[in-house]
Chains A and B, each alone.
Chain A
Amino acid sequence: MTPTLQIFLVVSATLFCIGLLAALSRRHAIFILIGIEMMLAAANLNFIAFWRFSPQSQQPIGVMIAIFSIAIAAAEAAVGLAMVIAVYRHFRTTNVDQLDQLKG
């Protein structure tokens, strides 16, 4: 059967929810980053889906957006990892439940 837009959107929504779930419920900081990556991936998928089923599917608009998004995701993952390392060096833990110093 021909994949319709809705299927893609459902998939990307599902992927986003799983990523959100991962970001919200895992204790390890790296796992939260993974979740965030998954959410970004879902967003990318969304973009591509909407581009593929749009009238302007000849120009590589969606692809360009997705590439930029991936680059940003990578940069952001690097920054996130750096932060996790920095935090680990200071607090000796990666359990985000214990990182509540900003509590006020």
Chain B
Amino acid sequence: MNSWITTNLWLLPAIPLAASLVILSLSNARRKSAAALAVIGQVVALALSIFAFRSTLQTLGFRSVHNFTWFTFGENALRIGWVLDPLASVMLAMIALVGLCIFVFSIGYMAEDKNFTRFFAYLSFFSGAMLGLVIANSLLLLFVFWELVGLASYLLIGFWIERPSAAAAAKKAFITTRIGDMGFFAGILWLYGRSGTLLFYDHGNGCLESAGLALLGASATCVALLIFCGAVGKSGQFPLHVWLPDAMEGPTPVSALIHAATMVAAGVFLVARVYPLFSFSAINGVTPSLTVVVWIGITTALMAALIALAQADIKRTLAYSTVSQLGLMMVSLGVGGVAAGMMHLVAHGFFKALLFLGAGSVIHGCHHEQDIRKMGGLRRLMPVTFLTYAIGMMALTGVPFFFSGGWTKEEILHATAHWPPSQVPYFLLLAGVVLTALYMTRQIIYVFFGNRRAASQHAHESPRVMTTPLIVLAMCTIVFSVVLTPAWPWLHGYLMGETPIFNMARLIQPTLFVSLLLVSVGIALGIWVYRKAGAQDRHRPAETDPLEYAQPELFRFLENKMWIDELYDRTVIAFAAFCARLSDWMDRYFWEGLVRAVAGLGQLFAVFTTNVDERGINAGVDETTSGTRGLGRLISSAHSGQIQTYLGVIAIGMLALLLLYAWLA
């Protein structure tokens, strides 16, 4: 049983990919078939992933690999394969379950869209690629699926092809992640060059196992940092975070699936997967590469939380929230809390997808209005959405006890507090917790409380096909918290390969009080600051945010995303444009000039040869022939035909001979 699933783990990405291919061949009219195929593919993937999950429960620290040779070149062989271990199996389960909820949601959300079929084809394609990414046992195979996921993201962000902003956002996403991927690929090359293998686990010879790591030696730090570049790009860490908010141009289910739950999690997953590279020769759990991860993570977390405070679009707030939470996960991985980071990843997948789908439900209900300043009072109009959204919000803010996000955040805080090099990340993280509570409270108040403003006048609850996934995800969020509590750290033990011990006493810890305090402070602060926001007159849709009223310049700074996009515009993009113009100039004048010069040389040679031919050779020949002809004419003029002339010449000749004879004698 165990080996069956391991050998056939390839079915997990293959089935949704196959479904995607089939859907692509369907015409636009066959919407039901497309949706059915996609959902069935996802259900099969879910069943298989649950099956895989069950097989990993057999032993502690289960890891089963299946490697094979892809092709050989000379003496070397390129081997790839897949691995089934706790890390992969929780990711599989999450991707399959969240994906299924989102697929079902999309049936309702995209019902009026005329490219319904194409949407499900792309969604299935993405799902297959993401599933493949988490089971890959070879860094190269992972990279292949990494790029496929990036492609799916590009196709889905730019799904509404008639919108130039969507196309620009898709391009931006792809190019920004590409920059990270360049570093990633360099890391892969370096790793392969040094250790000779790209397999992760290969019965002791893989690059993450002791033999492979020993071959790497001191270059492990650089390789890890290069691979981290890819994670920075894909997970939207600073400085490559600029694509994530723009990616909200895509349909909301896309934002939920890709940019909340799964694809952006791929970066964090990558770091967790190649963690032995990062933690190689760690002193007290600290290495240079991990330190870099922590600092980048905390910068991202804080920066994004600040920007989220000033956004007016419901999805942008959530996008920046995602960026912030990803930074948090990176911090967790960096300080050594790998299990805590992965648990937060899984929990975040659930509640962020829930929040995005809730936002999608709100947008759908308000007839595609996305500005929160134009909404309000939806609490009574859309009760199910409100309830599930509130659950998601509490999970995100980190309210403990019932909501998964709370426990995982507490674990991360706990791990960060005990980081040897510095306590600064811990305090910044505390500030981040307050900010998270603040901006989520702000959003909830604006959207669901207060008077109904412009777009909420004709709002209605979404159909059952859309609210059911919301309810499912909300329940998952709550139920999931059971396995996350410190009292019974089942998931922690599962991920780390330890036996979980049930101990109620561990429920009460100092960090619990700290996080409880901070969350309450944050929510209370949010309610107090934004209490009037919801109560504005319904005839004035765009009110001034209380923060904007208090600190206009700071608000403007945050609202414009700290001007980072503009900075990139002026520097990197301007440089690229300059290079393009330079290349164009070089091409147009320099290279063309050179080519023309060479052509000119050829022409010169041709002219020279022509002249030699015409004036030299031809003329010479002509002259010779005319000379010969002239000579001939001259000589033939001696043939006058006159007999007496001939006779005379004979006589004269004879006379000359006679004289000669006489003179000689």
Contact = CB atoms under 8 A, between A and B. Distances in A.
A99 interface: yes
A38 B506 CA distance: 164
Interface residues of B, number: 10
Contacts of A32: 643-644, 647
Contact of B644 (A24, A102, A103): A24
Interface stretch (B176-184, B433-441, B537-545, B634-642): B634-642
B648 interface: yes
Given A20-B651, A24-B651, A96 B639 contact: no
A96 B651 contact: no
Nearest to A103: B641
A100 B640 contact: yes
Interface in A10-31: 20, 23-25
A24 B644 CA distance: 5
Interface string A68-104: 0000000000000000000000000000110111111
A16 B643 CA distance: 18
Contact of A100 (B636, B641, B648, B651): B641
Interface of B: 636, 639-644, 647-648, 651
Contact of B639 (A23, A25, A97, A103): A103
A20 B641 CA distance: 19
A103 B642 CA distance: 8
A97 B641 CA distance: 8
Given A24-B648, A101-B641, A103-B641, 19 more contacts: A20-B651, A23-B647, A24-B644, A24-B647, A24-B651, A32-B644, A32-B647, A96-B643, A97-B642, A99-B641, A99-B643, A100-B640, A100-B641, A102-B639, A102-B641, A103-B640, A104-B636, A104-B639, A104-B641
Contacts of A100: 640-642
Most chain A C-beta atoms within 10 Å of own C-beta, residue among B636, B644, B648: B644
B659 to A, nearest CB: 14
B560 to A, nearest CB: 106
Nearest to A100: B641
Main secondary structure of the interface of B (DSSP, over half): helix
A103 B639 CA distance: 5
A64 B484 CA distance: 160
A53 to B, nearest CB: 20
Nearest to B644: A24
18 contacts: A20-B647, A23-B644, A24-B644, A24-B648, A24-B651, A25-B644, A32-B643, A32-B644, A96-B642, A99-B643, A100-B640, A100-B641, A101-B641, A102-B639, A102-B641, A103-B640, A103-B641, A104-B641
Contacts of B651: 20, 24
A30 to B, nearest CB: 13
A25 B648 CA distance: 9
A25 B647 CA distance: 10
Contacts of A101: 641
B508 to A, nearest CB: 139
A102 B640 CA distance: 7
The 4 closest A-B pairs by CB, nearest first: A100-B641, A103-B641, A104-B639, A102-B641
A92 to B, nearest CB: 17
A24 to B, nearest CB: 5
Interface of A: 20, 23-25, 32, 96-97, 99-104
B640 A96 contact: no
Nearest to B639: A104
A97 B640 CA distance: 10
Nearest to B643: A96
A100 B644 CA distance: 11
B647 to A, nearest CB: 6
Contacts of A103: 639-641
A29 B636 CA distance: 24
Contacts of B648: 24
A25 B643 CA distance: 11
Nearest to A104: B639
A96 B636 contact: no
Contacts of B641: 99-104
A20 B639 CA distance: 20
Nearest to B638: A104
Contacts of B642: 96-97, 100
B631 to A, nearest CB: 14
A97 B645 CA distance: 10
B56 to A, nearest CB: 117
B657 to A, nearest CB: 15
A32 B644 CA distance: 9
B652 to A, nearest CB: 10
Nearest to A39: B651
Contacts of B644: 23-25, 32, 96
Contacts of B640: 100, 103
A27 to B, nearest CB: 8
A96 B642 CA distance: 7
A104 B639 CA distance: 5
Contacts of A97: 642
A100 B642 CA distance: 5
B406 to A, nearest CB: 127
Contacts of B643: 32, 96, 99
A104 B648 CA distance: 18
A35 to B, nearest CB: 9
A49 B651 CA distance: 22
A24 B643 CA distance: 8
Nearest to B645: A24
Nearest to B648: A24
Nearest to B636: A104
B291 to A, nearest CB: 112
A18 to B, nearest CB: 13
Contacts of A99: 641, 643
Nearest to A96: B643
A40 B639 CA distance: 26
A28 to B, nearest CB: 11
Nearest to B642: A100
A87 B328 CA distance: 132
A2 B532 CA distance: 177
A23 B647 CA distance: 8
A91 to B, nearest CB: 12
Nearest to B632: A104
A25 B642 CA distance: 11
Contacts of B647: 20, 23-24, 32
A83 to B, nearest CB: 11
A96 B647 CA distance: 12
A24 B655 CA distance: 15
A21 to B, nearest CB: 10
A99 B646 CA distance: 13
Contacts of A104: 636, 639, 641
A102 B641 CA distance: 5
B637 to A, nearest CB: 9
A104 B640 CA distance: 7
